[in-house]
Amino acid sequence: MKAEFTAIIEKAPEGGYWAMCPEVPGANGQGETLEEAKNSLREAIELILEDRRADFFRGLPEEVIQEKVIIE
């Protein structure tokens, strides 16, 4: 799945960078460089979305209809 999210990146007072994603509450990252902060944020987004998806599907009845919806 390909998706685009917004990364809000700030310099951290103690050095390095903080990164946050407004579209995914709770997703944030940090790193010594901009690239490290973005990679850390990317990993946080992936983990949160995987967890939310698994949590949602847990306990669904077997007869529900599941189909893909593509957003471009």
Q: What is the pTM of this model?
A: 0.83
pLDDT, residue 50, reads 95
The structural domains of the chain, ordered by start, are: 1-72 (3.30.160.250)
The first and second tokens of residue 71, run together, are 């957003």
DSSP state at residue 36: H
Judged against a pLDDT cut of 90, whether residue 15 lies above it is answered with yes
The string of pLDDT tens digits covering residues 23-52 is: 999 999 999 999 999 999 999 999 999 999
Q: Which residues, 6 or more positions from 12, have their beta carbon under 8 angstroms from its beta carbon?
A: 18, 30
